[in-house]
Amino acid sequence: MEFKKGDLVRLSDFGKLVAGDRGSNVGIVVAGPYDLLAPTSGKVTSYYIAYDVFVDDEVIERVPVDFLKRMVSDERNIERVETVVRRNETD
């Protein structure tokens, strides 16, 4: 899955959770892809590709591509998916 600036992305339940579940179902890729290096320890550095995504009135910066893929893909394995709790609903 490739993303580019201007892409409209539909948020999965995980994506809504990350974005703060403000009621938005979509986001817009506003920057990227760009390369990031993140130190994981004193001598080890991780390299990843990242994007900036605009959701509601906030830009979520430096979202790694693998994380963004998870934000827009509905996962079938329920053990790995965080669910969004909806207010005023019974189980």
* pLDDT tens, position by position, 63-85: 888 888 888 886 665 555 455 55
pLDDT at 5: 94
Instruction: Tell me how far apart the 2 most distant CA atoms of the chain are, in Å.
Output: 49
* pLDDT tens, position by position, 10-66: 888 878 877 876 678 888 999 989 998 877 777 777 788 999 999 888 898 988 888
pTM over 0.95: no
Cα(47)–Cα(60) distance, integer angstroms: 19
